[in-house]
Amino acid sequence: MLKLNEVSKRYGTTIGLSDVSVSFPRGEIVGLFGENGAGKSTMMKCILNILHYKGEITLDGEEITRESMEKLSFATCEHSFFPGMTALGHRSFYREHFPKFNEKRFDGLMEFFELPKQREIRRFSAGQKNQFEVILALSQGADYILMDEPFAGNDIFNREDFYKVLLGILEPNETVILSTHLIEEVSDFVSRAVLIRNGRIVGDVTCDELEEQGKSLMDYIKETYHYRADRVGKALSNIIGE
């Protein structure tokens, strides 16, 4: 289990996270939802120890160290690959450095996205780079796969097909934590939704619980965020006038 206990992060006087406590058992696909600047990326980077923070983050009850870091992978739109290396070069590098690297999954996803294996990644399109980032994260052999807005620049058909492939390839012990604004697209694929606002967890519900309540994921998010349906009309009225 991945567990955060009273984790806080500040950027000067700005709150990134404030006393966040949340657990992620194995075998879940978790949607991490929130507005821009809510703290989604900050939470992921704290888990990966990219940022210094206050509080405690543990993996299977132990502090996350260099040795246990291989149980975590990260797909980010900021990218973490080697731009001057080909896909085949990355495959060789990951096979050497990650004992659980899943070469079959890597090759299958490369074929699914129709990515060239012998082209330098810097020569990929923006969408292809994001696809390759996801492939590396899913093939590393990690137990926890963190994805931060991984599908920017990808068309809706590629995204929808990928969600279906994702459900088909994940092992029971693998957990995906997916940060995205594409709520309606992923509502049928996530098993749990964690909502963050102003650096605090404001909602945490499984999709089974929502189904029992007769609510959609979007309904739950709007309700939790106190969404005002009349705000567009008021804005237009103020801008254009009656």
CA distance 151 to 129: 10
Is the model's pLDDT at 169 over the cut of 70?
yes
| pLDDT the model gives residue 234 | 64
Q: Give 9's pLDDT tier (boundaries 50, 70, 90).
A: very high
φ/ψ bin of 79: left (φ > 0), alpha (ψ from -120 to 50), beta (otherwise)? left
**Cα(25)–Cα(199) distance, rounded to whole angstroms?**
21
Q: 138 pLDDT exceeds 90? A: yes
Kindly give the residue spans of alpha helices, DSSP state H, lying in the chain. Answer: 40-47, 87-97, 103-113, 126-139, 156-169, 183-186, 207-213, 217-224, 231-240
pLDDT category of residue 153 using cuts at 50, 70 and 90:
low
